[in-house]
Amino acid sequence: IYKILDNDKLDGTVKTQVKEFIEREMSNIASGASSYYSSLSAMDDDEDGLMGLVRKQLNEVLQEQLTKMMDGASADYALYTGGARIIHHATSRDYEQWPSKGYQRLWGMLTHRNVIKSNRAETVITPSMNVGECWCFNGTEGQIAIRLSRSIVVTQVTYSHISKEMAIDPVSSAPKEFELWGVVDQSEGDGAAIDEGKDDSGSDIINDQGQFSKIQSTRKHEFEFLKDFNFFLGKY
């Protein structure tokens, strides 16, 4: 939406008003995406004025996102509500930013105030359309291990993140390169790299249908996304 507005060379004051309007709309989405989407779809097409134009564009963006999410949808065995769980000992630590001064750190340990903490890794397997609901870790490389809800033959892996059109700030922290590992022998902790990929398109939904035959016989399939998540953690 911002790109469209910039291309039209709107006056700076109007841009500010439009951005404030969009932020209010996104807040409404965060409080109830389904009901809000329904209300947008039911609106009259002849709504006049700049706000009507922006609302229409926002509606189109939401429709596009929902279409992408539903297109080719299949069973999700890495869904938290479906029984999948994070394997914390094999997952990067959640990002935390503590005060630099000793007495402030001590106060933070006692009261948990003045400490910036990321959402837990469970956020990754709990789908959400809300802006800012992400999982962060230190640095630009990390990993997350997931125990699937049941033993399966992996045929496709999909990961998604908020699109550039819906983001209030530029999307510069989405996963770019990844590797997929499957645990072959849990007692030994051995693993085999079964797929890798790179997102150069800037797409918000990546569908990967690689060769996954190496982990078809495991009791519980665990897999990890690794390498170059390129997260700017400070903003969270």
Contact 168, 23 (CB under 8 A): yes
The token pair that represents 144 in the structure block: 């997350």
What pLDDT score does 157 carry?
A: 75
What pLDDT score does 71 carry?
A: 58
What pLDDT score does 147 carry?
A: 86
- Measured CA to CA, the distance from residue 149 to residue 153 in angstroms comes to 12
139-153 tens-digit pLDDT:
777 888 888 888 777
204-214 tens-digit pLDDT:
444 444 433 33
Q: Where are the beta strands (DSSP E) in the chain?
A: 85-86, 96-97, 116-117, 144-147, 157-160, 177-185, 190-198, 205-208, 222-226
What pLDDT score does 151 carry?
A: 78
What pLDDT score does 231 carry?
A: 27
Residue whose C-alpha is closest to residue 124's, from 98, 92, 166, 163: 92
What pLDDT score does 30 carry?
A: 53
What pLDDT score does 224 carry?
A: 40
**Residues of the chain with confidence (pLDDT) below 50:** 1-11, 13, 33-36, 40, 43-47, 188-193, 200-236
Domains and CATH numbers, the chain: 2-70 (no CATH), 80-235 (2.60.120.260)
